Amino acid sequence: MTTPTSEPTAPVSADAPAPQLGAHLLPDGNGTRFRVWTTTAREVAARVNGADHPLRPLGGGIFETRLPVGAGTRYKFVLDGQAWPDPYARFLPGGVHGEAEVVDLDAYRWKNTDWRGLPLGECVFYELHVGTFTPEGTYRAAMARLPDLADLGVTAVQLMPLATFPGTRGWGYDGVALSAPYAPYGRPEDLMAFVDAAHGLGLAVFLDAVYNHFGPDGNYLGVYSPGYFTKRFHTPWGKGLDYAEPHMRRLIVESARMWLRDYRFDGLRLDATQEMQDDSPTHILRELADEVHALGGTHLLLAEDYRNLPELVTDHHLDGMWVDDFHHVLRVTVAGDRDGYYRYYEGGAAAVANVIGRGWVYEGQAWEQEGAPRGKPADALNSPSFVYFLQNHDQVGNRAVGDRIHHLEHVTPALFRGASTLLLSLPTTPLLFQGQEWLASAPFPFFSDHHGELGVLVSEGRKREFAAFEGFGGDTVLDPQAEATFRRAKLDWSERGEGEHARTLALYRDVLRLRREDPVLRDRERRNLTAGNVGDVLWVRHETEEGERALLWNLGQATLDPRVLLLSLDLPSAVLFHSEGREDVTLAPGEAVLLRSQP
């Protein structure tokens, strides 16, 4: 084998923008450019095939060389004699501490090249974890299940984080290589094939992106320069990211662009944006939104942010946000939870009507958990910008054993189906969590694979973090480090055709079909929606030029015949859909009915 020889490179101007770092194939096909920024080392090399090749200093802490090697080449960078992984890697086949691999992101031959994305108003999100979605836990295995999601009526698949994280299993929120897809799920081309197949079925694909912190194991950015981080801000996970530092800012923006441009994701869900603190002239969220929307086609950005701030959409130009308040109100209503943050919420028909009418609950009221006002009125936002859900990875996994809401003894299948009918018929954007559409028996506990002392700290920290929640005391919490905890979370697809599983799956298919085809329910204008209650009965009215639809949901303890109520409220009375499949308007506890105006 011929030893690679480096080629000369031009110096970098002090005024030049932060250059693209890591290893990138040259556009002429004649090798790979290796580039590093460091403020800690005086000598830098690329270790390729066991040999070190010096990088030339170009000024401003930039080092670079070009080597006649191609895709598949494994490498590390060497700083003052010590070899380190590349935090800008595009693939880490051996994990966070191993060699990176040079990847040709243009090699995959895309089939569905006419795909242009979906507007948010057409999205029905389905959140899934690749490792537990199928027994195999790979992109290819998940791809084989995409036709099931399309048949269900889902239109947008959202993958939990893929940026490389430590170990052989985990949720992915402790990623350290923002542009390297997690190797145990498959190779980069396998992920591209998944996205391509989804597009062929009319499914958009979104990625959960964590740009507010790095995991505690395998984050080597600080080795290259401590300037990536700042003491000006702190997050629950440690030092804040310094988005004002040009290289950190470009790392984040380039990562987002790569997932959308090279892997052809349709959008990103940004994790915990309240922790993306930035004192730059242009907030990092605004820059991300502008960059994403400039890519062409329809690309969307969604925030996970409990603060209830409409300016995330109106000023920062994100497209929407997850609304915890809707979940929390429904959780208190359906399950009666009053511990942890649930104690700051009311339940019942009036509370559900309020959150639907206002968009969220907290719009400036005192938030006792933090001793300060929380939120602002959401009047400027339209329905699609509110992403509503009955459960998601957090709200299931943040329980001692990862039990889902329908696992609770007093949450009957009928009550869950009533809540599901409400969720899917609202003009807001619904999100489902894998398996909820068939009352999946699998829980979704928190799991991880950290070694040594860090693993012990994770297990103990989990108990402390959620000590305020019922069930997080003593030995009831599943050990997140145990492989058996991970195994419990794998879905059992065989149960979908049985009993209550099949009945619930049929409901999801039917209501999602109505959401897509009914001339009134497919309207997404918030101004056309009103909600209220009469005692324990929730009513939701949807009026357009095409007609009127109404939902009634019985949250009381007695069966009722609501015909007198329909007359008093002047609501339509013809049955469009009953959550238990009946043709009459009678509602047993927990049941819901969708009504239509007479032709």
Mean pLDDT of the chain: 94
474: confidence class by pLDDT, cuts 50, 70, 90 = low
Give residue-wise pLDDT tens across range 192-212: 999 999 999 999 999 999 999
pLDDT at 260 over 60: yes
Element at 157 (helix H, strand E): strand 156-159
Helix (H, G, I), strand (E, B) or coil at 532: strand
Give residue-wise pLDDT tens across range 110-136: 999 999 999 999 999 999 999 999 999
pLDDT at 459 over 90: no
List, in order of start, the domains of the chain with CATH numbers.
525-596 (2.60.40.1180)
Among 341, 318, 485, 319, which residue's Cα sits nearest to residue 400? 485
18: confidence class by pLDDT, cuts 50, 70, 90 = low
User: Where in the sequence numbering do the catalytic residues fall?
Assistant: 271, 304
Residue 525 phi, psi (nearest 5): -80, 125
Model pLDDT, residue 471 = 59
Model pLDDT, residue 4 = 53
pLDDT at 10 over 60: no
Question: What mean pLDDT is predicted for residues 148-167?
Answer: 98
Helix (H, G, I), strand (E, B) or coil at 409: coil
* Cα separation of the two ends of the chain: 79
Model pLDDT, residue 2 = 38
Model pLDDT, residue 267 = 98
| Angle of the 284-293 helix axis to the 246-261 helix axis, nearest 10 | 30
Residue 18 phi, psi (nearest 5): -55, 120
Model pLDDT, residue 11 = 46
Amino acid letter at 207?
L
Using CA atoms, how far apart are residues 112 and 202, in angstroms rounded to an integer? 10
Using CA atoms, how far apart are residues 291 and 415, in angstroms rounded to an integer? 43
Using CA atoms, how far apart are residues 96 and 78, in angstroms rounded to an integer? 16
| Angle of the 324-335 helix axis to the 349-358 helix axis, nearest 10 | 170
pLDDT at 414 over 90: yes
Using CA atoms, how far apart are residues 315 and 338, in angstroms rounded to an integer? 35
